[in-house]
Amino acid sequence: MRFPASRGAPQAVTRWPALLALAFLLVPMRGGAVLRSGTTQQAVPAGATHANSKEMLVQDPRISVELARYEVSCTNLASGKPGPGTAESGEHCFELAITNNAGESITAWAVTLERDSANQRAPARRNVRSEDSILIPRQQEIRPRDTRRVQLGNPDRVEFKAAIFTDGTSAGDPEFVRRMVENRGLVYDRTVVAIQRLRAANAAGTPVSQLTREFRELARQESTPAAPPGEIVLPTLVVFGSVSFNLERIAAAKDDAEREQTAIRALLSQYLDNANRIAASKPPIADHPLRGGEPR
């Protein structure tokens, strides 16, 4: 199978369940550098732990992205005992290696995954795989000279879309970068709403059971918007659902009212940190500054 070079216009993707994640087309970067793609093939004996083939999706002074294909399932590959996989077995696993060659850390990146439908008349299924350390700190940024390796499952095609650096510069499709920053702004807005509700509840001494019901209702309304034809919509981090989950844990502890309010204040502090981290990120989230001291 041929790995597609990263070219062409963005295409629609199906929604992933919320809990983030991010994606890219390879076009000239700032400063005049050009993202390039090429292919190298490596024949290896069946059962070897080396990749059966590799493709350099991006080779640039600031970022390198290599896609390796193993003729085994990702489960077997992760176990360290890949076994005698062959192309005829129908199993394969893509592994992405993102190397940061720049002096700034990579805070976010994304790829699109496409799988052909068994029905030739049906469109291919597309998803986005992404990480954003601004939104989810446990998805650590890729520091200078470090490499992040990610197993992508067994799609038919993989396309690297874009990356954002700490200083606000980017690599890849500018339109996709814009959407990634816009996604941060959406999460910021929802976080500010959560902060305002938590503050009001804390001031009024609202029982945690009542506050939980309020956030459950907000969570039911929370979703990633459907992708318009021909466009890509990034999955959006669940904010209200996350608050609801944390409130349920507080309620399950069955502490007294004072301890519940202390726990809510701790939760409020956590979401304040989240909002301020997003507000301080680069590129700045357009039209989403800290408004009049909010959410400080």
CA distance 65 to 115: 21
Could you state, in order of their start, the residue ranges of all structural domains in the chain?
30-172, 177-293
Q: What is the per-residue pLDDT across 224-255, written as a single tens digit (0 to 9) for each? A: 666 665 566 788 889 999 999 999 999 998 87
Contacts of 274 (CB under 8 A, 6+ apart): 191
CA dist list (Å): 146 to 68, 73, 200, 261: 18, 26, 44, 42
- Maximum CA pair distance of the chain? 69
Selection from 96, 97, 186 nearest residue 134 by Cα: 186
Topology of domain 30-172, per CATH? Immunoglobulin-like (2.60.40)
**What share of the chain in percent tops pLDDT 70?**
71
Q: What is the per-residue pLDDT across 146-181, written as a single tens digit (0 to 9) for each? A: 999 999 998 888 999 999 999 999 999 998 899 899
CA dist list (Å): 227 to 12, 121, 156, 246, 275: 6, 20, 21, 30, 26
Which of the 8 DSSP states describes residue 142?
A: B
Contacts of 262 (CB under 8 A, 6+ apart): none
